[in-house]
Chains A and B, each alone.
Chain A
Amino acid sequence: MLKLIKEVLRVGEATLPYPFEPIEQMPGFRGKPHHDPEQCIACAACAIACPPNALNITTDLDQGFQTWSLFMGRCIYCGRCEEVCPTGAITLSPDFELAVMNKQDLYERADYKLASCRICGTYFAPIKEIEYAAALLRQSGMSADALADTLSLLEVCPECKRKNDVPKMVSLFQKEGSDVQR
């Protein structure tokens, strides 16, 4: 018993004064994901990787918007979004004090404009994503001709691309004729 009292006295007060004083986090602690809407291209990689569906992407084809949203009520702080983000738009902050008075405050959202197809005019992909792909292509060291060709394809929706592919293939077959076995 004496030993116990001695130990208790030696240790003194172990309880920290938190929340009246800030508490220290270990470096590398994973807290609330921080989203930089400027950096984000709305590619949806994070929403696909997110195990608990905290991150979602919804597409409004009528209005031409893609909406990125995060619901903190579901987040498990795994940081998969940070790992898969191609532009570094999501990073996990050390922020862990997430209590809110109103459930709506747990939601965060950002809207991105969609580009419309050069041929048929339907919305098909976020403008920023297309710009990002174009910037990557410009740096890839392609020849000027090939680059112009590929860049023009970026403005076409997948459906029109498919339709255009058919006449293109046909003309290819006709050109190379004997080489191609049907």
Chain B
Amino acid sequence: MTVLTEEKPKVGGKYIEALRARFGNLILDESWQAPDQVTVTVPLNSLPDVVEMLYYQQGGWLATVVANDERPLNGQFAIYYVLSVEGLGDDSETGGKVYVAVHAQIPPHQPEFPSVTPKVPAAVWYEREVRDMFGLQPVGLPDERRLVLPDDWPDNLHPLRKDSMDYRYRPEPTTEDENYDFINVEGEGIVQVPLGPLHMTSDEPGHFRLYVDGEYIVDADYRLFYVHRGMEKLAESRLNYDQVTFLADRICGICGYAHNVAYSNSVERALGIEVPARAQFIRTILLEVERLHSHLLNLGLACHFVGFDTGFMQFFRVREKAMKMAEMLTGSRKTYGVNLIGGVRRDILKEQRTTTLQLLKELRAQATTLVNMFLETPNIVQRTQNIGRLEPQVARDYSPVGPTLRGSGFARDIRVLHPYCAYDRVPWKVVSKDGCDILSRTLIRAEEFFESVSMVERCLDEMPEGPVLTEGFAYQPYKFALGYVEAPRGEDIHWSMLGDNQKIYRWKCRASSYNNWPALRYMLRGNTISDAPLIVASIDPCYSCTERVTVVDVRKKKATIVPYKEMERYCIERKGSPLK
């Protein structure tokens, strides 16, 4: 590990000094991947303390946790807890923002590490995933259930270990039953209901279990990852660096380009590649175009879930303009296939610029009409105000991202905190609200939409001339860095380590919804079940059809399976409870 950018000023070095003051010799190593990215190595046992200090005493937010099988390099497993350290109080103004990766090595003969979750709850999903994918045991982790791997996956097969399996291998199921342990509420003896087969035709299945007392939700549990695609394994096994950009696109059907930029940035940063300014502007424009159609989609869905389907149709009609814009600027209705490592493949020509500006004008005008109409619909405020509350303390503990977090009073937007692409070159403002409810999150999306429209206009005006792609660089093995993008749903974080065979050694991509799901449980509590679909939709999860819901009545100790369509109908009509 070497210092890549000694000449550039480092941001946020004071946080590292504070760490050294507190932990002294326990900070074994410090290496800077970029002026605002540092990796510190600590002994395995001090991991929880160091992460806790960064998280709670220095204003850190958990960005991602990466495990890596570095046995071929140095004989050890490695784990990296990546935090965006932003300071508290006055610090947050002056201290600078820095990504700190806390790194520790795990010996292969004793594959376990102390769990950070008891001190920093935000780590819970990450540690469950590390256990599944690498077979590294988080000691003291309160939730020991599988997260990513299916329940019928063999016990000792950990896909991301370098010596475990070929990426095409599909093991035989070990069991016929679905045996995921859903939580029990407060020790009440609740009947566990085995669920029917999943509809393979539904594109994004998940299974919810709601615990209710009458109409009110007491607690919720959910099992996701039914459609885990093994992209990380595929990337490191078969694709070269440029090909991974096209795979990264397909992580999400809505914010694919955000993933693509995050991945490209991580590789570019690891190698210190300078992306041409024009390409930076083009990326910014396309990222914002993506936000335009994503936010309109969510606003449309918000209409749909409160029974205002005309509004849904109208939002989708206007959204089509954003889709046309994407089609023109990228050649694909989705903003797919534009990036390569080093820049973009397609310039924005004069004619396209003119058409885009015209479309933006129409978008702004028509969306203004629709948003006003939306807010004047009496039902909307009544159905969304004070519903699905995400309390600031829960938000602080679980590091949710995007409008979900900004609706609970935190003005966190990494476009400002860690500027990338051209976000520090055009004026715009972060939108946040204090309502902590669905209404706040929806209003944030509406306001961000208009910010994005202006931002694209400014970028088109101020875009410098010049090349759009840097070429002719050499890949260097085992360099690593972080890439990050504020996608419409929150930040996407990618961590990439380059390999020595023209393939990536480890690619960890974390989608924004990953950080939002764990907090959802708290948002559901105390609300009526007719609001559940609305609450789930308000985090704009990267998936649409919750296949079916099990409702467990804690008083009657009775479990009912309600098809999702029925839940949705109840949410819209609020008549004829499916429980009666």
Contacts and interface: CB of A to CB of B under 8 A. Distances in A.
A27 B328 contact: yes
Given A8-B310, A52-B246, A28 B337 contact: no
Q: Which of A4, A11, A25 has the most CB of B within 10 A?
A: A4
B361 interface: no
B239 interface: yes
Contacts of B310: 4, 8
B179 interface: no
Given A11-B317, A51-B243, A29 B331 contact: yes
Q: Which of A28, A29, A51, A52 has the most CB of B within 10 A?
A: A51
Nearest to A53: B238
Interface in A117-160: none
A63 B100 CA distance: 59
A26 to B, nearest CB: 4
Given A8-B314, A76-B337, A78-B336, A30 B331 contact: yes
Nearest to B331: A30
A144 to B, nearest CB: 34
Contacts of B376: 3
B327 interface: yes
Interface in B16-59: none
Contacts of A7: 314, 369-370, 373
B373 A4 contact: yes
A3 B373 contact: yes
| Interface residues on chain A, size class | 20 to 34
A76 B376 CA distance: 42
Given A3-B376, A27-B328, A77 B345 contact: no
Contacts of A52: 246
A175 B250 CA distance: 60
A52 B336 CA distance: 14
A30 B311 CA distance: 32
Contacts of B247: 51
A51 B239 contact: yes
B337 A77 contact: yes
A165 interface: no
B324 interface: yes
A83 interface: yes
B164 interface: no
Contacts of A28: 328, 331, 346
A33 interface: no
Contacts of A76: 246, 250, 336-337
A30 B314 CA distance: 28
A88 to B, nearest CB: 17
A49 B247 CA distance: 13
Contacts of A3: 369, 372-373, 376
A25 B332 CA distance: 10
Interface in B229-277: 239, 242-243, 246-247, 250
A14 interface: yes
Contacts of A78: 246, 336-337
A79 B337 contact: yes
A163 to B, nearest CB: 29
A78 B244 CA distance: 12
A80 to B, nearest CB: 8
Interface in B332-358: 332, 336-337, 345-346
B332 A30 contact: yes
Nearest to A11: B317
Q: Which of B328, B331, B376 has the most CB of A within 10 A?
A: B331
Nearest to B324: A26
Interface in A1-58: 3-4, 7-8, 11, 14, 25-30, 49, 51-52
Nearest to A3: B373
A175 B288 CA distance: 68
Interface in B355-404: 369-370, 372-373, 376
Interface string A61-101: 00000000000000011111001000000001000000000
Contact of B327 (A29, A49, A92): A29
Contacts of B327: 25-26, 29
A32 B243 CA distance: 19
A25 B331 CA distance: 9
Nearest to B243: A51
B186 to A, nearest CB: 45
B317 A26 contact: no
Contact of B337 (A14, A26, A30): A30
7 contacts: A3-B372, A4-B373, A8-B310, A14-B317, A29-B332, A51-B239, A78-B337
Interface of B: 239, 242-243, 246-247, 250, 310-311, 314, 317, 320, 324, 327-328, 331-332, 336-337, 345-346, 369-370, 372-373, 376
Closest 8 CB pairs of A and B: A51-B243, A78-B337, A26-B328, A30-B331, A51-B246, A26-B327, A14-B317, A28-B331
